[in-house]
Structure 1
């Protein structure tokens, strides 16, 4: 059983917390399962609204799903969450993602 399956089994067994959901969101993002990544990132933010890393995953998943406005909103919210939590590098990463997204959408 792989890591994703192990974490999914924990979730199915009733364990549901922000870190579990963030881990699942990241694994699904790496596996190109954008909808599952989105759903787990949203669930993570439900547990911990200040979780900037979940906003980053959410933005990437929404971008991959073609939801440009949703991705931009996720990145903007994540930048604020990261700044509030002193996570400067995470904020900078999302600023780059947001600029690239806005550049691509204005060029379309």
Structure 2
């Protein structure tokens, strides 16, 4: 569902945030990190400071768990 929403509007930062969470829950850390990075970029374009901040926190958490998987 989140990927479908992003096909319509890649600037929809909430969809990137939730897609990243779904990917992480599926054990796809690298893909989750990529989704959050794209989400941060989208959030910054939209001026959605809170969403960008949340996704940065998510990236830091997985980077602490395994520094090879994600960096901010």
Question: Scaled by the length of structure 2, what TM-score is found?
Answer: 0.90
Cα shift readout 1:5-64 (whole Å, capped 9, x = no counterpart): xxxxxxxxxxxxxxxxxxxxxxxxxxxxxxxxxxx0000000111100000000000000
**Paired residues, number:** 68
Q: Does the alignment pair 1:103 with 2:64?
A: yes
CA distance in 2, matches of 1:104, 1:48: 31
Q: Does the alignment pair 1:71 with 2:15?
A: no
Structure 1: gaps spanning 5 or more residues: 1-39
Q: Does the alignment pair 1:41 with 2:8?
A: no
CA distance in 1, matches of 2:21, 2:27: 10
1:13 is matched with none
Structure 2: gaps spanning 5 or more residues: none
Question: Scaled by the length of structure 1, what TM-score is found?
Answer: 0.61
Higher helix share: 1
| The structure with more radius of gyration | 1
- After TM superposition, where is structure 1 displaced by more than 6 Å over at least 4 residues in a row? none
